[in-house]
């Protein structure tokens, strides 16, 4: 059997997670070739990716740069934190979930002063509290926030916080790992100096690299700040600008896949088109889960359309470990919960999945609950949209 025949006959599990995600067959096929890191075609691919990322952020030719960094999204987060905070700098980290806490932890391990501004996981941060914190502590040089906190699925107010950071003349850093490519935004309008996301999220590529969109003036001011060789953001940008090449071995196959994923994003109608599909996935999922007796962890007004946290069913026979295992055996992969208060699990609406896939998942959940002898809701219909 040829490689192509094997690929055509494979059946992957569907990933209802925040990443890695289910990808299209054509994105997978894009990796079935080898290009050298110094190949002119590959250098052209890298150049196009960088240009298209700036366009997605609404800042092409507006004083921003796209910098690609090997590794997972956390590598790029650490690259920004370790490379852009001056030796005696200090970060205000807006925290309302596990990924805000990760930013704080990275800063502390790097021995960078970090001040957490903590909100409950169920609430969006208040920009006025950010302003008050900056008034109290004039030593703070940077403000960091997570856009979509995938602990719960909440969307945080990055535009309002950015306006505060600009008013106080502080550097502003946004972790848009799980939102970029599916939530319309303009970096300049949100006063963002550095934004980080990853290849294997809403652009629907595969793992292997992450990227930073950086305001050029802010980036150039960081000369000498880097605390790492391999994660030196300014040096990485200089290398890409000099000859179009990575300083160290690039993830060539992941970049080829991402190049194809960008084409497919454009074909879908860009960020707005992808957002429309993800919103429909979300509406279909929530309606069906409510019909099965599950409740969302967040109030509706705070819930984003990237991933949703659901509370465990309050039933003696419900065990999440068994629930997860049975769904996995049926070919559906969901995510354990990460909230600190309450028993929850998470279901993502992103990746190359459609409302029909959500309906299939709901049918599998209904069957699994029946196998576990967990009472179902009286409502029979589980595949409908909720307004």
Asked whether residue 13 is domain-assigned, the answer is: no
219 and 115 share a domain?
Answer: yes
Asked whether residue 297 is domain-assigned, the answer is: yes
For residues 270 and 274, what is the distance between their CA atoms, to the nearest angstrom? 6
Single out the residue in 203, 236, 266 at which a domain terminates: 266
> Total domain count for the chain?
2
Residue-wise pLDDT for 55-84, tens only, equals 999 999 999 999 999 999 999 999 999 999
Residue-wise pLDDT for 175-195, tens only, equals 999 999 999 999 999 999 999
367 and 274 share a domain?
Answer: yes
Single out the residue in 234, 266, 298 at which a domain terminates: 266
194 and 276 share a domain?
Answer: no
250 and 278 share a domain?
Answer: no
Residue-wise pLDDT for 295-340, tens only, equals 999 998 889 999 999 999 999 999 999 999 999 999 999 998 878 7
For residues 5 and 8, what is the distance between their CA atoms, to the nearest angstrom? 5
Asked whether residue 4 is domain-assigned, the answer is: no
Single out the residue in 216, 241, 266 at which a domain terminates: 266
DSSP strands (E only) in 32-72: 64-70
CATH of the domain at 261: 3.40.640.10
What does the DSSP assignment read for 77-126?
Answer: HHHHHHHHS-TT-EEEEEESSHHHHHHHHHHHHTT-EEEEEE--TTSPPP
Asked whether residue 336 is domain-assigned, the answer is: yes
| pTM greater than 0.85 | yes
pLDDT on residue 301:
87
255 and 274 share a domain?
Answer: no
CATH of the domain at 347: 3.90.1150.10
252 and 145 share a domain?
Answer: yes
Average pLDDT over residues 6-34: 85
Average pLDDT, rounded, for the chain: 93
Burial class (CB in 10 A: 0-12, 13-18, 19+), 376: middle
199 and 93 share a domain?
Answer: yes
């Amino acid at each position: 059997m040829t490689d192509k025949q094997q690929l055509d006959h494979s059946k992957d599990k569907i990933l209802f997670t925040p990443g890695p995600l289910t990808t299209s067959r054509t994105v997978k096929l894009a990796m079935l070739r080898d290009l050298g890191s110094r190949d002119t075609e590959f250098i052209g691919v890298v150049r196009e990716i960088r240009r298209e990322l700036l366009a997605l952020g609404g800042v092409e030719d507006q004083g921003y740069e796209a910098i690609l960094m090997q590794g997972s999204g956390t590598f790029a987060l650490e690259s920004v934190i370790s490379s852009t905070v001056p030796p005696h700098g200090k970060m205000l980290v807006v925290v309302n979930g596990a990924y805000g806490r990760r930013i704080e932890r990275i800063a502390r391990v790097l021995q960078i002063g970090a001040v957490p501004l903590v909100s409950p996981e169920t609430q969006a941060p208040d920009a006025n509290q950010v302003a008050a914190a900056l008034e109290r502590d004039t030593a703070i040089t940077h403000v960091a926030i997570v856009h979509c906190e995938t602990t719960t699925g909440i969307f945080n107010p990055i535009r309002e916080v950015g306006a505060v950071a600009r008013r106080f003349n502080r550097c502003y850093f946004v972790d848009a790992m799980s939102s970029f490519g599916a939530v319309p935004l303009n970096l300049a309008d949100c006063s963002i100096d550095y934004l980080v996301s990853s290849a294997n999220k809403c652009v629907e590529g595969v793992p292997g690299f992450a990227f930073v969109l950086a305001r050029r003036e802010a980036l150039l001011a960081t000369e000498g700040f880097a605390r790492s060789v391999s994660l030196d953001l300014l040096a990485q940008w200089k290398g890409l600008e000099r000859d179009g090449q990575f300083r160290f071995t690039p993830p060539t196959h992941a970049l080829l896949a991402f190049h194809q994923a960008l084409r497919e994003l454009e074909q879908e109608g860009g960020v707005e088109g992808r957002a429309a599909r993800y919103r429909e996935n979300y509406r279909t999922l929530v309606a069906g889960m409510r019909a099965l007796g599950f409740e969302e962890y967040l109030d509706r007004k705070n819930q984003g359309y990237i991933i949703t946290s659901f509370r465990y069913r309050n039933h003696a026979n419900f065990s999440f470990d068994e629930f997860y295992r049975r769904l996995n055996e049926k070919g559906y992969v969901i995510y354990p919960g990460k909230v600190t208060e309450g028993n929850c699990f998470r279901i993502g609406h992103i990746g190359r999945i459609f409302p029909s896939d959500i309906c299939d998942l709901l049918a599998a959940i209904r069957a699994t609950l029946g196998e576990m002898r967990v009472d179902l809701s009286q409502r029979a219909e589980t595949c409908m949209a909720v307004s």
